[in-house]
Structure formats: structure tokens, C-alpha cells
Amino acid sequence: MFKSLFSEGTETRADGEPSLEGQFFTSEPDQPSHAAKSPSCGGLTTIARLMKLGRCKKVLVVAGAGISTASGIPDFRTPGTGLYANLEKFNVPYPEAIFNIDYFSNDPQPFFSLAKALYPGSHRPNYIHYFIRMLHHKGLLLRVYTQNIDGLEKVCGIPDDKVVEAHGSFATASCHLCYTPFPAEDVDIMNDKVPVCSFCSATVKPDVVFFGEDLPQKYFLHTKDFPKADLLIIMGTSLQIEPCASLVNTVRSSVPRLLLNRHAVGAFDQVPLRRGDHMELGDLEVTVRRFADLLGWNHEIQDLMRSHEAAVSLNSKLSIFVSSWTVMTLFLLMQSIGALVSCCSPPLTASRGRSSDGDTDSETDSKSSTSYNSNQ
């Protein structure tokens, strides 16, 4: 039988059922509170019920690296597998130095070596990304604030105006000294070369926000978004990096907040929880699938994934076909031009020897020139 962690006990609603607001449930009540925080479906059920009743129409999502691990992109802080746990080979003084703009200015190579693991090129969106897209499809998504730099939110089809990439992305690049913009293709992350600005010779870097750099202007939409939200979903983040970590505390106190994460973090790691706070701990993709089931969205998300992946595959094939067709067309065109030139060119012997009236070529040229001049 599930018991609340809190000594206050549960509240009772008007219909006689116990309220789940501000509660977290566990099947292991005898353990200390921090150890006892294990997965439950109470929070998901409550939030799903509110959404079905139409009480959550302006949903904000704050997402971290945990939403992309199912796509094969490592997060930062998971012991043993996170990026920060595997930086010994880069010989940096401390883990965060690899994303420090001053350190980058002196030695950019560690970042470009590490960036291969983060580069979105071969990675595809997973079920979690499409869940967020379904929020948009249902007209419920106010905005997603992502701390990720992989761009997978946009890749899965969430419109640009619904995505705030708080830490930038690999989609664009610029010189870190003179700020000259460069096409992202000029920064070939996978070739182990440090790109150099053609204007000032400083290093060109992807427009990823480093420690010590300003946040993108779009981030400041939060001053309008968070006061309007009627539901905040936080997923896959450690809530350790400011200012994003504090954003979750700027919604109105009456707004329910749902944490979907492997561990309790931030204000959700404190007892008691704020009234209206809920959390579901465990494998994030499994949790999100269960949430979608409670909402009745699972089949729609699966269909959305299939149709979008099919469209991406078709576009890829069309791109290959067009490229091949273009190469073949150019080849045939060059052949045709070559054949036309050959047909129209006079024989080489025609320009030598005597003409039919006995004049030499030079004499003919002289006569032609004299005739031309006499007409002036």
C-alpha cells in the first residue's frame, strides 16, 4: 500500500478522494526520504487528469540533456557515462573548463574533440521529443526552453517560434572574437580541424553558449511566458546551471509543476514539496510513454514519428536523386557542348595555305582589314 512521505498526511477533496497535490508516493516508506524517492504514477495521473479536463492549455517545458540520451547523445553529469565523467583525456583543469570561453580562447581543441559526441548530425529525435511536439500539435505548448545544443526539438518538427535554445546550438557559427557569422558547414566538427576566421584569424565556433557568454536574446521571452503558464513540465535536467535552473521557480505559485527525471533535483529535492508539485522518477523515456498512455496520445505519437521519419527518409532519397540527376545532367550537357563545338569548328587545315582566289591568309586578313577601315 502506498503511503505519503510527509507527516502531514493527505488532504481530502470534495469528492471524498485523497488529494495528490504536493504529494510524492513510494512503496518503501521505511527508508529515509532521499532514498525513498522512487517512481510512482500518482503525479502523472493527476496531471493527465488536469490536462484532459482542459485546465492546462499553456504548457511550458524546460528540458535538459536527459531528453536526448535515448537518441545516443550522452548527458553531462551521470556518473560513469556523462560527459563530465570522461574528460581525463582532454587534460582540462576542471570539467566545466571545456565550455569556458576564456579557456576556449586559449585552447579550443578540447571543445572540438568533445563536440563530436554532441554533434546532432547522425542522431535522430526520440519519443520524448515527439511527445513535446504532440503538445504543440494539440495546441497546448506555449514554449519549450531547452538547454540542449543538439537541435533535435526542431528536427522533430517543433516550429522555431516554439523553441528557445537557451544554450545555443550547432545550427549556426560565428567568430568568437569579431562575431563574423559563418555557415555551419564551415565548422566541420567531425574532421578534427579547428576552423579559423578569414577576417581576424581567431577561432570560429558553433553558436553554443559558453560559460562567460551572453544568453541568446530569445531566452528573455521567459519574462512573458512563465507568468502566463498554467502547467510546467521539467524533464531530463539536473537544474544546476543558472539562469535556467531558477526559471522553474518563476511560474505562479498556483501553477502545477511536474518533474520527469531520473533523480529529484532542485526544489523537488526538498521536503515538503510545494503545493501543486509532482514528480515521477526513473527512466525518462519509459516515464514519458506512460504519461502519453494516460493522456491517450501514444498511438498518435507513434503515427507522428513514423510519418515524420518517412518524410525525412523521402527527402533524403530525393536529395540523393537530385544530386545524382544534377551530376548526370551536367555530364551530358558538357558532352553535348563538346560535340557541338566539334561540329561547328572548321578543319585545322582550312586556316592555312591559299584561299580559292589565290590569296594567302595574311593577304585575305589584310584585305578584310582594309575593307573594314574604308567603311569607317
Binding residues for Zn(2+): 175, 178, 197, 200
Torsion of Cα atoms, 295 then 296 then 300 then 305, to 10°:
60
Q: Which of 129, 136, 167, 222 is catalytic?
A: 167
- Fill in the DSSP letter of residue 80: T
Beta strands 181-182 and 168-175, pairing class: antiparallel
Prior bond to 243 cis, omega within 30? yes
The three grid cell numbers given for residue 61, joined into one nine-digit string: 517545458
The three grid cell numbers given for residue 326, joined into one nine-digit string: 544534377
List Cα–Cα distances, 82 to 28, 69, 196, 248, in angstroms. Answer: 29, 10, 29, 24
Give pairs for 8-15: CB < 8 Å, separation 24+.
Answer: 8/272
Q: Are 269 and 245 in contact (CB under 8 A)?
A: no
Q: Are 27 and 2 in contact (CB under 8 A)?
A: yes
167 classed as catalytic:
yes
List Cα–Cα distances, 155 to 34, 150, 284, 302, in angstroms. Answer: 37, 9, 20, 16
Mention every residue, 6+ apart, whose C-beta is less than 8 A from residue 168. Answer: 149, 206, 207, 208, 209, 216
Catalytically active residues, by annotation: 167
